[in-house]
Amino acid sequence: MKHVKGHSPREHANKSLDQHASASLGSPHPLRTNSTTLSDAWRRGLPPVLFTLSVLVAWDVVVQAFALPPILLPRPWDVVQSGWQQADVLWRGAVVTGSAALAGFALSVVIGSMIAMLMSQSTTIRLALYPYVILLQTVPIVAIAPLLIIWSGYEFRTVVWVTLIISLFPIVNSVTEGLMAIPRDRLDLFTLYGATRAQTLMRLRIPTAIRYLLLGARTSCGLAVIGAIVAEFFVGNGGANYSGLGTLMTGWQTLGKTASLLAALFVSTGLGIGMFAMVHLLSTTILSRWTSTDDL
């Protein structure tokens, strides 16, 4: 194919139309400076910080006003002190619980995606499997944890199984939806060019489903931490040499160490937030260049 090297004035005008649009898409707003970005960060970050401080002050006032005993509700500062004193134990607990949550979450992503891929292949498979996927969502995890302990023992792996079960449903659900919800024009494009089933799966369905997978993963990662801690309540009760945050919490509850218990609670919350932030960062990194209003 030969190309026209020279351009007429009208062609130049056409290109400048696109270039103008491109420039406005690709570059930041000319009036937007670093200081504006910084003040934006302050404006967004300040309200939650102020709210947290208000809650802590209200908490302290309530404890003092009603002279609540520390076993019922310690003062915020006591919780901080207790957490500091138990920092080593809490850190080791966070590592154990975090590892179990991460392992269960990773397994749920892999296994959930495989189940979703299977379900997307035919209506019959979908109808056959879907009730069991719903079952995963509805089964009470506190009821299934003791059963899993009988089968798998008071072990780290049992915590991972529980975590996997609780975090699997959002992945299966969202990936299946992603694999099925392909815009008609895109499917037509592949049909027109006679794409094989494998080509459509690899080049269209799976890339489309990645966005849905990441959305499901945001829900799933939070559930993974909850699943790990709930499982540790049971695993720790068996007297096994296991030191996850859930085990520590049951232990400190028995000993009446409410301040330490609350410190562990905050650490586990931080663990959940950390997991969510990790998935959020991953999804924004992957999706930032893909996302546009009309294409996704």
Partner 1 sequence: MVNLALDSTAANPSSLRCHGLSVRFGDHRNVLDRITCEFPAGRISSLVGPSGCGKSTLLRTLAGLQMPTQGRVQIDPPADAGRGEIAFVFQQATLLPWRSAIENVMLPLELCGLASSAKQRRELAIDELSAMELETAAMNRYPSELSGGMKMRVSLARALVTRPAVLLLDEPFAALDDMLRTALGDLLLRRWAMSAFTAVLVTHNVSEAVMLSHHVFVMRSGQLTPPIDDWLPHPRDETVRTSKEFNELYAAVSELLRGDLA
**Residue 81: how many other CB atoms lie within 10 Å:** 14
Q: Which is nearer to partner 1, 130 or 190 (CB)?
A: 190
Q: DSSP code of 67?
A: T
Under the binding rule (CB under 8 A), the answer on residue 193 touching partner 1 is: yes
C-alpha distances in angstroms, 8 versus 5, 15, 19, 125?
A: 10, 11, 16, 59
The amino acid sitting at 275 is: M
Q: Does 256 bind partner 1 (CB under 8 A)?
A: no
Q: Which residues have CB under 8 Å from 219's CB, separation 6+?
A: 170, 174
- Is 40 a binding residue for partner 1 by CB under 8 A? The answer is no
Asked if 284 touches partner 1 (CB under 8 A), the answer is: no
Helix axes 206-237, 87-121, angle to 10 degrees: 140
Could you tell me the smallest distance in angstroms from the CB atom of residue 214 to partner 1? 12
Contact 149, 234 (CB under 8 A): yes
117 binds partner 1 (CB under 8 A): no
Q: How many residues bind partner 1 (CB under 8 A)?
A: 40
Residue 181 binding partner 1, by CB under 8 A: no
Contact status: 204 vs partner 1 (CB under 8 A): yes
Q: Does 143 bind partner 1 (CB under 8 A)?
A: no
**Contact with partner 1 (CB under 8 A) among 36, 121, 199, 269:** 199
Which one of residues 26, 30, 47, 239 is an interface residue with partner 1 (CB under 8 A)?
Answer: 26
Q: Is 22 in the site for partner 1 (CB under 8 A)?
A: yes
Task: Determine the Cα–Cα distance for residues 181 and 174; give it in Å rounded to an integer.
Answer: 10
* C-alpha distances in Å from residue 136, one per residue of 35, 173, 223, 289: 49, 11, 13, 34
Q: Which stretches of the chain bind partner 1, using CB under 8 A?
A: 1-4, 7, 10-11, 13-15, 17-19, 21-22, 25-26, 183, 185-186, 188-195, 199, 203-204, 207, 210, 289-292, 294-296
